[in-house]
Amino acid sequence: MNPLKPINSFRLTSLLRLQKDPKLALHLFQNPNPQIPQKRFRYSLLAYDLIITKLGRAKMLDEMEKILIQLKGETSFVPKEALFCNIITYYGRARLPNNALQTFDKMPSFRCQRTIKSFNSLLNVFIMCKEFGRMRELFADIERNLKPDACTYNILIRGLCADRRLDDAWKVFDEMRKRDLFPNVVTFGILIYGLCLDLKLKEALDLKNHMARVHGVCPNTHVYASLLKGFCGAGELSSAFGLKEEMVRNGVELDSAIYSTLISGLFKSGRKEEVPGILEEMNLSGCKPDTVTYNVMINGFCKDKDFKAAHKILVEMTEKGCKPDVISYNMILGELCKDGNWSEAKDLFEDMPRRGCAPDIVSYRILFDGLCDGMQFNEAAFILDEMIFKDLWNMAIAMVFKDNKLSSHSKVIDTLMTS
């Protein structure tokens, strides 16, 4: 292909799909044909969709907003509602509910009609940002212009359950039924999750039976996951394993999250000798342990002060192609420090990069606090010095000036200043 041949709209969309780096994608979008800058490029709606998606996922929100302003000036096409739903969601993930609301409000200026879909996206953002009061106000305001659907009520119920307002969640459920909107497995799953969160396990179990018997809605893996987590958390393992057997009988898939919950329950109940049996069952059913499963075991062994077994899990993970993450190491670091094994904790910390897992700010904080608690001020000063060298100034300052540890941390500063 001739490198000087101008890029057209179709070619631009192909190149944007292939470009993984959002900054380079943005540069390409803004300068598709730098050799002929005087000619106005005719962008397609798909090109806008692709670049906005890349910028939104990369949290380059200021850049995304500039592209949105440019899109507003286009007259040859009208952006689809799904694009704005995505933008609203990106602002939610960034915990910027006001920006999400502004995006919803300005949709008509793009000649894009708002339906219940974009409203549901906005409602979900308020839940993500724990703006429960505004969520209810927004619903009351929008209800005058849009007709809520089952998804709307599910979002409301989830928000109320997250806010521990189960009575209000049931009222919304009743309102949903009055409007002839049928609850689905998501609706019941949210309510069961809320009941388990409040340790109302019998009510949750009754609702699981009721949803199938009365409403003809069969519980899925997510429903059972909430119940299993609730019963394991309460130490009622016989009920948890009974639910697992029920899943098998009913042909409901047992995923790694279900098995991880059971393994966690066994460790908490002092029955870790039964864990190999669960792992064998996973293997026979074709369900591979994931990072969460292994981290549950690492946490269990660390709580039992069995650090040898915890380290063995790290090796086993690598051998089975499941790379340990920073959480895996941080759990061991934390328990080693609590147990006074500062030298071993420091060795593991220093070994993390060689194992392909760089320490994060939590790793630094765990080791720094552990060394200070053990009055290992010289070693703590080295950790602080490394943070400063790596340009983690703000984090280092925040660690040093923790109110409850200021006296011991001041000794680290003295050590650092005199070294």
- Residue pLDDT, tens place only, 165-203: 999 999 999 999 999 999 999 999 999 999 999 999 999
Mean pLDDT of 387-408: 56
pLDDT confidence bin for 34, thresholds 50/70/90? confident
What proportion of the chain, given as a percentage, has pLDDT over 90?
Answer: 70
Report residue 160 as tokens: 């109320």
Does residue 373 carry a pLDDT above 90? no
Question: Could you identify the residue written with the tokens 């960034």?
Answer: 94
Q: Can you give the pLDDT at residue 392?
A: 60
Q: Can you give the pLDDT at residue 19?
A: 93
Distance CA 91, CA 97 (A): 6
Other beta carbons within 10 angstroms of residue 277's beta carbon come to 10
Q: Can you give the pLDDT at residue 4?
A: 63
Q: Can you give the pLDDT at residue 401?
A: 54
Distances (CA, A) of 192 to 9, 125, 179, 219: 49, 22, 22, 10
Does residue 406 carry a pLDDT above 50? no
Question: Could you identify the residue written with the tokens 């790793």?
Answer: 363
Mean pLDDT of 385-406: 59
pLDDT averaged over the chain?
Answer: 89
Distance CA 221, CA 279 (A): 19
Question: How is residue 39 annotated by DSSP?
Answer: S
Distance CA 126, CA 264 (A): 32
Does residue 1 carry a pLDDT above 50? no
Alpha carbon 257 to its chain centroid, in Å, reads 15
Mean pLDDT of 27-36: 87
- Residue pLDDT, tens place only, 54-105: 999 999 999 999 999 999 999 889 999 999 999 999 999 999 999 999 999 9
Mean pLDDT of 139-144: 80
Distances (CA, A) of 127 to 138, 194, 406: 12, 14, 37
Report residue 49 as tokens: 């969709």
Q: Phi and psi at residue 22, in whole multiples of 5°?
A: -65, -30
Does residue 416 carry a pLDDT above 70? no
**Which residues have C-beta within 8 Å of that of residue 315, sequence separation ≥ 6?**
none
**Which residues have C-beta within 8 Å of that of residue 81, sequence separation ≥ 6?**
107, 112, 113, 114, 115, 117, 118
Distance CA 281, CA 17 (A): 41
Does residue 376 carry a pLDDT above 90? no
Does residue 407 carry a pLDDT above 60? no
Report residue 413 as tokens: 């500063």
Mean pLDDT of 296-306: 94
Mean pLDDT of 31-42: 79
Mean pLDDT of 323-337: 94
- Which has the closest alpha carbon to 416: 390, 392, 383? 383
Mean pLDDT of 154-166: 93
* Stronger pLDDT, 324 or 407, i.e. the higher one: 324
Tell me the residue type at 9.
S
Total number of residues shown for the chain: 419
Does residue 220 carry a pLDDT above 90? yes
Question: Among 10-24, 250-264, 355-369, 394-408, whose mean pLDDT is lowest?
Answer: 394-408
- Which has the closest alpha carbon to 371: 329, 409, 415? 409
Per-residue b or e along 47-82, where b marks 16 or more CB atoms closer than 10 Å to that residue's CB: bbbbbbbbbbebebbebbbebbeebeeeeeeebebe
Taking each continuous run of H as one helix and of E as one strand, the counts in the chain are 24, 0
Does residue 3 carry a pLDDT above 70? no
Distance CA 303, CA 349 (A): 19
Q: Is 282 in contact with 288 (CB distance < 8 Å)?
A: yes
Q: Can you give the pLDDT at residue 405?
A: 53
Q: Can you give the pLDDT at residue 394?
A: 55
Q: How big is the CA angle at 161 (ends 245 and 251), to the nearest 5 degrees?
A: 20
Distance CA 196, CA 227 (A): 7
pLDDT confidence bin for 403, thresholds 50/70/90? very low
